[in-house]
Structure 1
Amino acid sequence: MKVVIVEDEFLTAQRLDGMLNKYDSNIEVQAILPSVADAVKWFKENQGTDLVFMDIHLEDGQCFQIFETINLEIPIIFTTAYDEYMIKAFKVNSIDYLMKPINFDELVQAIEKFKKLHSPACNEDENWPTEGLQQLMHSLQPGTASYKSRFLISLGSRLKTVETADIQYFYSADKITFLVTADNQRYPVEFSLDKLSALLNPTEFFRINRQTIVKLNAISAIHVFPKGKLKVDVQPAFKDELFVSLDRVTEFKEWLGK
């Protein structure tokens, strides 16, 4: 089986590559593509791919732009943390939808589903995408919030969930993103700050600079400096001084006043 991974988080892509090898060492990962532009270019120039694992949020936009640009008929297994896009995903040639961080058993089930759906017997029935969509819509609860309510954290051989309500801020350091809770616990998460900006409720969280996203009720003080510069104090205290990027000051003030 030949597979392409469309994913802009390098560590996530590498982890998925390893899980695919664990499932079947004969699986060939032809390419790992981080952007819409890279995916469009690659699929225009290459053929023979059997299955694509595709994240929703890429470094230059949403993956659905790929389908708007080229006629991509390869089966897709979507991988994302943002279930708002679940219905939209099944309107294209989707096999399954895996929530991040990906669970190995669920990955196996998705691949087995792909194999079953693309067996000669199943190919005679062209209604399987609609049936899958109907089952998916049945499972959704109306009015479900679009923003993440919790994060799954890997701690060695253990897994832990952290409620978004308990998180005070996120920051990046050494190409790793961390969350910090109200009781000053720090955990790594498998999302970039760019992706977190889309996953978090914008009325509660604001990205004050390239390295930091803060929650409104985590802010304990705001200091005004000459030329409009702002310094933010948070609880629990951050290891460094936190300044709002100058190009975000106006938007930050608007956010505070909402």
Structure 2
Amino acid sequence: MNVLIVEDEELSAERLRNLILGIDPSMMILGIIPSVFETIAYLENQSNIQPDLIFLDIHLEDDNGFKIIERLNLMIPIIFTTAFDAYMQKAFKTHSIDYLLKPINPLELQASLLKFKKLTAISTNRDGMVTTDTLPATMLSEKYKDRFLCTAGSRIFTFKTTDIAYFTIEERATFLRLFDGRHFAVEYSLEKLCQLLDPQEFFRINRTLLISVSSIREIHSISAGKLKIELNPTQSQEAYVSADRISEFKNWLGR
């Protein structure tokens, strides 16, 4: 399998390369490219070996990595690698496999590669060449987490994702709150939950709150650039959409 790394931080790129080869030494790293311009030039040149998978950082030395996708109408599967979670919803609208936050966790990287192999049904032909079937037109149809296991003392509970109104950060721990008002601790960060949950149903409105569309009771425009959300069930603290997420939030609501 041919892999292209698009990353402008030399140490991050080399670490990612070593992690990939440590997980699967058979992977061929075609190169490490630091810019949007050079990546577009490489992919447009049909004499170059084309990648089966691209690891793409978003903030590159000359522009935003999404420009590569937009310019080429890129259909090659992508695993995003970035230090920012603000672009997660936008990433899921592309031909993306996963969205990994830096520093890359080796176990999460391994899970992403397994996910890619499963989705693309990688096989080896008689000549030993790796081939891939066509990916679905969108990753939104893939299987997202539909149940959560929680404990309270000696008791174990399981809840359907459709029963969950929202997830919150409270005192450095993550909790889910059900529509019936009960809440339980979960062993996931909000960043990880954004990867596990269907982005059509859940949206992270700020640093501490990830909500389901069904939990929204009312939305109030407080002022230009400020939205207040009334949730069901009611949260102890008022919920606001972060200013930098308002546009994306509105697009999410209008899907």
Q: What's the TM-score once normalised by structure 1's chain length? A: 0.51
Stretches of structure 1 that go unaligned for 5 or more consecutive residues are 147-200, 203-258
How far residue 138 of structure 1 moved from its aligned partner, in angstroms, is 6.7
Count, aligned residues: 148
Post-superposition CA distance 1:122-163 (Å, at most 9, x none): 9688376123497342785542139xxxxxxxxxxxxxxxxx
Q: Measure the CA separation in 1 of the matches of 2:134 and 2:72.
A: 26
> In the alignment, is the contact (CA less than 8 A) between 2:97 and 2:112 conserved in 1?
yes
2:15 alignment partner in structure 1: 15
> In the alignment, is the contact (CA less than 8 A) between 1:87 and 1:133 conserved in 2?
no
More helix by share: 1
1:37 alignment partner in structure 2: 37
Distance 1:125 1:13, change over 3 A: closer
2:50 alignment partner in structure 1: 48
Q: Which residue type is aligned with residue 207 of structure 2?
A: A
Q: Measure the CA separation in 2 of the matches of 1:42 and 1:124.
A: 22
SS in 2 for 1:56: coil
2:62 alignment partner in structure 1: 60
Q: Measure the CA separation in 1 of the matches of 2:39 and 2:134.
A: 30
Q: Measure the CA separation in 1 of the matches of 2:55 and 2:122.
A: 22
Q: CA RMSD in A?
A: 2.9
Matching of residues 167-246 of structure 1 within 5 Å: none
Q: Measure the CA separation in 2 of the matches of 1:71 and 1:83.
A: 23
Q: Measure the CA separation in 1 of the matches of 2:143 and 2:102.
A: 20
> In the alignment, is the contact (CA less than 8 A) between 1:81 and 1:100 conserved in 2?
yes
Post-superposition CA distance 1:32-71 (Å, at most 9, x none): 0101001100111124311100001101111011112113
Post-superposition CA distance 1:51-92 (Å, at most 9, x none): 100001101111011112113211000001111100111111
Q: Measure the CA separation in 1 of the matches of 2:84 and 2:49.
A: 29
Distance 1:100 1:136, change over 3 A: farther
SS in 2 for 1:96: strand
Q: Which residue type is aligned with residue 126 of structure 1?
A: P
Stretches of structure 2 that go unaligned for 5 or more consecutive residues are 124-131, 145-196, 209-242, 245-255
Q: Which residue type is aligned with residue 58 of structure 1?
A: L
1:90 alignment partner in structure 2: 92
1:165 alignment partner in structure 2: none
Matching of residues 114-153 of structure 1 within 5 Å: 114-119=116-121, 126=136, 129-132=139-142, 135-137=197-199, 140=202, 142-145=204-207
Q: Measure the CA separation in 2 of the matches of 1:49 and 1:124.
A: 14
Distance 1:117 1:105, change over 3 A: same
Distance 1:38 1:133, change over 3 A: farther
Q: Measure the CA separation in 1 of the matches of 2:50 and 2:78.
A: 14
How far residue 107 of structure 1 moved from its aligned partner, in angstroms, is 0.4
Q: Measure the CA separation in 1 of the matches of 2:3 and 2:71.
A: 21
Q: Tell me if 1:71 matches 2:73.
A: yes
Distance 1:44 1:110, change over 3 A: same
Q: Measure the CA separation in 2 of the matches of 1:11 and 1:139.
A: 36
Q: Which residue type is aligned with residue 39 of structure 2?
A: A
> In the alignment, is the contact (CA less than 8 A) between 2:17 and 2:29 conserved in 1?
yes
1:24 alignment partner in structure 2: 24
Distance 1:8 1:138, change over 3 A: same
Q: What's the TM-score once normalised by structure 2's chain length? A: 0.52
